[in-house]
Amino acid sequence: MNQPLIELHDLVFAWPGQAPLLEIPAFRLEPGEALFLKGPSGSGKTTLLGLLGGVNRPGQGSIRLLGQDLASLGQGARDRFRVDHTGYIFQQFNLLPFLSVRENVELPCRFSKSRAARAAQRHGSIDQAAAQLLAHLGLDDPTLLARRADSLSIGQQQRVAAARALIGQPELVIADEPTSALDADTREAFIRLLFDECRDAGASLLFVSHDQSLAPLFDRHLSLAELNRAAKPREA
Amino acid sequence: MYLLRLALASLANRRFTALLTAFAIALSVCLLLAVERVRTEARASFASTISGTDLIVGARSGSVNLLLYSVFRIGNATNNIRWDSYQHYASDPRVKWAIPISLGDSHRGYRVMGTTTDYFSHYQFGRRQHLALDQGRAFADDPFEVVLGAEVAEALHYKLGDKLVLAHGVAAISLVKHDDKPFTVVGVLERTGTPVDRTLHISLAGMEAIHIDWHNGVPARGAGRISAEQARTMDLQPAAITAFMLGLNSKIATFSLQREINEYRAEPLLAILPGVALQELWSLMGTAEQALFVVSLFVVLTGLIGMLTAILTSLNERRREMAILRSVGARPWHIAGLLVLEALALALAGIAAGLGLLYAGIALAQGYVQANYGLYLPLAWPSAHEWTLLAIILGAALLMGSVPAWRAYRQSLADGLSIHL
């Protein structure tokens, strides 16, 4: 059987001096899978993403990404591991406004040699990788590449963020409420584009949102509240 | 390198604040360097005001006072000294040359000095340079001839043959003029960068002639007046002068002669060594000069604190920027480096602009400062000392930059990938 992309085991996390915020006995994300994780605010969503990104360390239990136990890596190594294998899309204002669209898309390649190498390998060069990803995401106007990121519409910006998350083929794309700033029509179109691109790149997608209506689009959907034992007593 | 690109792009995005910050640094750097340059040049030009003169002798007062009026044309003598005192020492076998000087009149704010032609041949300044005539000749037998310092001729647009009238007293606006006895410009001296440039030189006979019909400090009226023509025929040997300068045959005699003059029984005299008096005077001004330096250092510090404030203030609104950078793989030290680079870039821009301002300022003010203060500010590359100062400023900026860098480092560790609005 394939190695899972993400595997959480008996994970407990608490901020210093506080009751546990997260208690997740088991969680898996398979390679190539698109998972919807329902996470209303206050459910420990941000903390979970921090743990998956290697920014925080679990108090107990293990987090394995591609079989690698994140807790066993040092801070610098976790940072490197994150960028090498994960692309992020945030809620909104994902881009550095003072850089051009192209530079924003290429950012991960500046900090990760392996993503730069993979982007160059797959598309010929990093510039071409950025241009092709943007074209796939419907941003094929060549003049757009050189424009400042904040001159784009919100919808366009989110697609640029998607291109940035996907460049250099990370194994995992984490999207944190990426559609909350979009209207209903563009929301679904954006998610479908994201699916296509993730499939092309062979990436798993972990999509975190509070918007249950999007859930049917995904391979699988879970609720963080059900997953997280620490949250249950409060809900009950 | 990519970090630098990011730092610059981020700064460019906040260009108004960044420009203001850099401008504040530029002004402070410019001020510091200007003060330094004026200080250095003032000291150098000060030390080179007079050379080759072994003793300056005047009426007994303070040595600084004597130096001020005899060499710098500042202030006034408390008393005159008698002509025979001068002669007594001028004829001393140890004395190689003697220059009598007589002060007290002026022309449009410039001091007039009565002396002999020995002044032109013996007076030295800088590195033992002699005075030289740029045009014309030294004054000769006619008492109403004047030799102008370079700046006087230039500022007042005098040329050879022009007539000018001296004013009594040294105030810039004098009510009493020696207008019955005009002087003719016969020579203009080359520029020296010393108070000589701002002096009108006439013969002692000329000085005597314009005051010949004066009694108790007021000019004679009516029949008591003596015309220039009459004065020419009279004996114009002065009875008193203001001071005299001595050059000795042997330096070894300097101290014994100085003591002798100070103990001269016929008249209370004071002899000073110009070098010693110059140092004494400079040590007086040194305090002010150092205060100026300290003040300009504080101005630089203010500029840098302004930068620190600007960067620290920006930190909070840039947490999103930091989180995005973290999400694309920037490590906390990248974030810290970004802020240090930002501080460096601001400081470098400030220093560069400050140098630009300084040179523009010098280019613009050079003539004015030379004309009004006799201070030559060279348009030269920064000296080793100035480079050191600039390096210290940059180092201080780096140190200051590490404060927001440290905060951002902590912040980015705490915030992680969560984006704060």
What digits encode the pLDDT tens for the residues B311-351? 888 887 788 888 888 888 888 888 899 999 999 999 999 99
Report in angstroms the alpha-carbon separations of B226 from A157, A229, B184, B213, B255: 98, 120, 19, 6, 45
Report in angstroms the alpha-carbon separations of A129 from A103, A169, B189, B193, B337: 12, 10, 77, 68, 28
Task: Report the first-to-last Cα separation within chain B, whole angstroms.
Answer: 29
Contact B182, B165 (CB under 8 A): yes
Answer whether A91 sits within 8 Å of B9, measured CB to CB.
no
Residues on A contacting B at a C-beta cutoff of 8 Å: 46, 49-50, 53, 55-56, 75-76, 79-80, 82-84, 88, 90-91, 93-99, 107-108, 110-112, 164
- What is the rounded distance in angstroms from the CA atom of residue B114 to the CA atom of residue B81? 14
Residue B46 main-chain phi, psi, to 5 deg: -60, -50
Residue B98's pLDDT band (cuts 50, 70, 90): very high
Task: Identify from B3, B14, B326, B327 which residue to disrupt to test chain A contact, counting A C-beta atoms within 10 A and taking the largest count.
Answer: B327
Could you give the angle at which helices B332-373 and B2-13 cross, rounded to 10 degrees?
70
* Residue (of A14, A65, A27) closest to A227 by Cα position: A27
In this complex, is the C-beta atom of B321 within 8 Å of any C-beta atom belonging to chain A? yes
Give me the residue from B324, B329, B413 closest to A96, CB to CB.
B324
Residue B49 main-chain phi, psi, to 5 deg: -65, -40
In this complex, is the C-beta atom of B10 within 8 Å of any C-beta atom belonging to chain A? yes
DSSP A79: H
A8 burial level (CB within 10 Å; 0-12, 13-18, 19+):
buried
* Residue (of B300, B293, B289) closest to B29 by Cα position: B300
The maximal CA–CA distance of chain B, rounded, in angstroms, is 103
Contact A6, A172 (CB under 8 A): yes
- What is the rounded distance in angstroms from the CA atom of residue A72 to the CA atom of residue A53? 14
- What is the rounded distance in angstroms from the CA atom of residue A100 to the CA atom of residue A151? 9
Which pLDDT does position B230 carry in this prediction?
80
pLDDT at B410 over 80: yes
Answer whether B419 sits within 8 Å of A91, measured CB to CB.
yes
In this complex, is the C-beta atom of B13 within 8 Å of any C-beta atom belonging to chain A? yes
For chain B, how big is the Rg over CA atoms in Å? 31
Give me the residue from A88, A98, A111 closest to B13, CB to CB.
A98
- For residue B409, the chain A residues in CB contact (below 8 A) are none
Q: How far is B420 from chain A (nearest CA, A)?
A: 11
Could you give the angle at which helices B384-415 and B274-317 cross, rounded to 10 degrees?
20
- What is the rounded distance in angstroms from the CA atom of residue B234 to the CA atom of residue B266? 28
Residues 6+ apart with CB under 8 A from B91: none
Report in angstroms the alpha-carbon separations of B255 from B251, B264, B267, B272: 8, 14, 19, 10
Q: How far is B28 from chain A (nearest CA, A)?
A: 29
- For residue A95, the chain B residues in CB contact (below 8 A) are 324
ipTM at complex level? 0.84
User: In whole numbers, what is the pLDDT of chain B averaged over residues?
Assistant: 87
> Average of pLDDT values for B285-307?
87
What digits encode the pLDDT tens for the residues B303-322? 899 889 988 888 877 888 88
Which pLDDT does position B45 carry in this prediction?
78
A110 burial level (CB within 10 Å; 0-12, 13-18, 19+):
buried
Contact B152, B197 (CB under 8 A): yes
Amino acid identity for residue B169 in this structure: G
- What is the rounded distance in angstroms from the CA atom of residue A9 to the CA atom of residue A47? 16
Percent of chain B with pLDDT over 70: 96
- For residue A107, the chain B residues in CB contact (below 8 A) are 325, 328-329
**Coil/strand/helix, residue A125:** coil
- What is the rounded distance in angstroms from the CA atom of residue A113 to the CA atom of residue A126? 11
Residue segments in chain A with a per-residue pLDDT below the cut of 50: 233-236
Q: How far is A125 from chain B (nearest CA, A)?
A: 18
What digits encode the pLDDT tens for the residues B374-383? 677 888 888 8
pLDDT at B395 over 70: yes
What digits encode the pLDDT tens for the residues B179-206? 788 899 999 998 887 889 889 999 999 9
Task: Identify from A43, A93, A111, A172 which residue to disrupt to test chain B contact, counting B C-beta atoms within 10 A and taking the largest count.
Answer: A111
Report in angstroms the alpha-carbon separations of B375 from A84, B36, B195, B379: 64, 13, 10, 13
Q: Which residue has the tokens 């290697």?
A: A54
Which pLDDT does position A181 carry in this prediction?
77
Give me the residue from B6, B325, B417 closest to A50, CB to CB.
B417
- For residue A102, the chain B residues in CB contact (below 8 A) are none
DSSP A152: S
Which pLDDT does position A235 carry in this prediction?
44
pLDDT at B96 over 60: yes
Q: Which pair of tokens denotes residue A38?
A: 């329902």
- What is the rounded distance in angstroms from the CA atom of residue A181 to the CA atom of residue A88? 16
Report in angstroms the alpha-carbon separations of B371 from B50, B107, B193, B283, B376: 19, 16, 9, 25, 9
Query: Regarding beta strands A204-209 and B81-82, do their DSSP bridges make them parallel or antiparallel, or are they unpaired?
Result: unpaired
**Coil/strand/helix, residue A147:** coil
Residue B52's pLDDT band (cuts 50, 70, 90): confident
Count of CB pairs separated by less than 8 Å, A with B: 68
Which pLDDT does position B323 carry in this prediction?
84
- For residue B329, the chain A residues in CB contact (below 8 A) are 79-80, 82-84, 107-108, 110-112
- What is the rounded distance in angstroms from the CA atom of residue B274 to the CA atom of residue B246? 11
> Average of pLDDT values for B96-124?
91
Q: Which residue has the tokens 């401008």?
A: B23
Question: How does A162-187 read in b/e, with b if 16+ C-beta sit within 10 Å?
Answer: bbbbbbbbbbbbbbbbbbebbeeebb
- For residue B321, the chain A residues in CB contact (below 8 A) are 96
Contact B242, B66 (CB under 8 A): no
Answer whether A55 sits within 8 Å of B320, measured CB to CB.
no
Nearest CA in chain A to B15: A98
CA B7 to chain centre: 43
